[in-house]
Amino acid sequence: MSERRFRFGYVLASKKVSSFIQDSLIKHAQENGIDLVPIDLDKPLIEQGPFDCIFHKLYGPEWRKQLEEFALQNPTAIIVDPIDAIEKLHNRLTMLDVVNELKIAGDNETIGIPIQIFVGENSESLLDAITSQGLHFPVIAKPLIANGSADSHQMSLVLKPEGLEGLKPPIVLQEFVNHGGVIFKVYVAGEHVKCVKRRSLPDIPEEKLGMLENLISFSQISNLTAQDQNDDSFAELIEKAVMPPSRFVTDVANQLRDALKLHLFNFDMIRDEKVGNRYLVIDINYFPGYAKMPNYETMMTAFFLDIAREKLNNESR
Ligand SMILES: O=P(O)(O)O[C@@H]1[C@@H](OP(=O)(O)O)[C@H](OP(=O)(O)O)[C@H](O)[C@H](OP(=O)(O)O)[C@H]1OP(=O)(O)O
Ligand SMILES: Nc1ncnc2c1ncn2[C@@H]1O[C@H](COP(=O)(O)OP(=O)(O)O)[C@@H](O)[C@H]1O
Ligand SMILES: [Mg+2]
Ligand SMILES: [Mg+2]
């Protein structure tokens, strides 16, 4: 593979281009035989090739049509990832379905999701639904649609039944699980997996519930600015949190990758404070902010090389 060069076309929002397509990534990939080429959406895709691989975070009927046409004419090229598979992550209710199918063999750890229910525009008697499903306060209200818009990240922590009045369906109501104020974000790029710790919402002790407001709104808590993250008490909390066993993380990541049929995603995982070896997946994101990981160029280039090998295999079939 040493003298062969590979052309990887990409389509990403301009914000994502600035964060992900850094000079350091372009250079590292180039040194390993991979040329990263921006695709111009104002021209037909088919005229911009050849591409060995196309990676993208874009949806909509026009782009779907272009990709389908390209795939038909270039059957050995690799599309990372199929739009249908990506779109399954746009619904917060169904995005976590696959987690219940995972079979984690082994020691002590278990994986699952928090209890959750769907609340539509015409849902009546929310409180009855909550009680019948065994949901306990506090709960988190999440917009049903997770399509990357600012609104889709707007969450509410509902601490008491009175707080339900302020919600705007369609939403998913998910039980809030105390987890020590730290989440584990697991970044997956094909077979490459990296787990990092991030700040989360603090635990809510049962005896404090009565003293709090009915409803608290928040957005992208794990993504706070570097300054916020440097806050001493949070830094200490994160530092002290014990990582989940890496064998367990890799097993969950590999099985999720196969079940979702996606190469590029991350998932947010929390550890139940009450049952210390029980982990819950609460969110899965397509093409997340890989550049936040130190040395992301190495992991991404290793992934690109795996795809290049797969492309060569396709050609020789
Ligand atoms: O921009 P970044 O680097 O913060 O990445 C966002 C992700 O942050 P993370 O890497 O998990 O810390 C972010 O993850 P969270 O939902 O915050 O867990 C999303 O993946 C977000 O994409 P979208 O807005 O849902 O389409 C990602 O945003 P886009 O870059 O895709 O707009
Ligand atoms: N069930 C839950 N229990 C406790 N904390 C949660 C739960 N769900 C979400 N959170 C907290 O809220 C944050 C945002 O929720 P998430 O589903 O990850 O939405 P987003 O897609 O905007 O990242 C999480 O990073 C975590 O800190
Ligand atoms: Mg999240
Ligand atoms: Mg998300």
How many angstroms separate the alpha carbon of residue 234 from the centre of ligand 4? 21
d(CA 172, CA 142): 5
Q: What is the pLDDT of residues 80-92, one digit of tens each?
A: 999 999 999 999 9
Tokens, residue 291: 């550049």
d(CA 178, CA 174): 12
The pTM for the full model equals: 0.95
Backbone angles phi and psi of 209, in degrees to 5: -50, -45
pLDDT, mean of residues 54-64: 96
Is there a contact between 163 and 144 (Cβ–Cβ < 8 Å)? no
Cβ(200) – ligand 2 distance below 6 Å: yes
Is there a contact between 137 and 160 (Cβ–Cβ < 8 Å)? yes
Quick check: helix, strand or coil at residue 175?
strand
In this prediction, residue 128 has a pLDDT band, given cuts at 50, 70 and 90, of confident
pLDDT, mean of residues 179-202: 97
In this prediction, residue 162 has a pLDDT band, given cuts at 50, 70 and 90, of very high
Q: Is the pLDDT of residue 229 over 70?
A: no
Closest C-alpha residue for ligand 2 atom 21: 153
Which residue, chain included where needed, has tokens 């082994």? 106
**Strands, E assignment, the chain:** 6-11, 34-38, 53-56, 78-80, 110-112, 116-119, 139-143, 154-158, 171-175, 182-189, 192-199, 215-219, 264-271, 278-286
Burial of 144 (0-12, 13-18, 19+ CB in 10 A): middle
Backbone angles phi and psi of 54, in degrees to 5: -125, 125
Candidates 142, 149, 201, 228: which one to mutate for ligand 2, based on the most atoms within 8 Å of Cβ?
201
pLDDT, mean of residues 145-159: 95
How many angstroms separate the alpha carbon of residue 245 from the centre of ligand 1? 25
Q: What is the largest CA-CA distance in the chain?
A: 68
Closest C-alpha residue for ligand 1 atom 4: 289
Q: Is the pLDDT of residue 180 over 90?
A: yes
How many angstroms separate the alpha carbon of residue 116 from the centre of ligand 4? 16
How many angstroms separate the alpha carbon of residue 137 from the centre of ligand 3? 20
pLDDT, mean of residues 216-245: 79
pLDDT, mean of residues 113-132: 88
pLDDT, mean of residues 178-182: 96
In this prediction, residue 174 has a pLDDT band, given cuts at 50, 70 and 90, of very high
Tokens, residue 71: 């795939």
Cβ(283) – ligand 1 distance below 6 Å: yes
d(CA 174, CA 261): 25
Instruction: Find residue 290's DSSP bridge partners.
Output: none
Closest C-alpha residue for ligand 1 atom 2: 289
Cβ(145) – ligand 2 distance below 6 Å: no
Query: CA dist 3 to 60, 249, 317, Å?
Result: 37, 36, 21
Q: What is the pLDDT of residues 234-293, one digit of tens each?
A: 889 999 999 999 999 999 999 999 999 999 999 999 999 999 899 999 999 999 999 999
pLDDT score of 227: 46
DSSP annotation of 214 reads S
Which residue, chain included where needed, has tokens 């399954």? 88
pLDDT score of 225: 44
Cβ(140) – ligand 2 distance below 6 Å: yes
pLDDT, mean of residues 69-86: 97
Long-range contacts of 234-239 (CB under 8 A, 24+ apart): 234/181, 234/199, 237/180, 237/181, 237/182, 237/199, 238/182, 238/197, 238/198, 238/199
Question: Could you tell me if the ipTM is greater than 0.95?
Answer: no
Tokens, residue 85: 């598979």
> pLDDT: is 195 or 209 the higher one?
195
Residues flanking ion ligand 4, Cβ below 5 Å: 283, 285
How many angstroms separate the alpha carbon of residue 18 from the centre of ligand 3? 21
In this prediction, residue 178 has a pLDDT band, given cuts at 50, 70 and 90, of very high
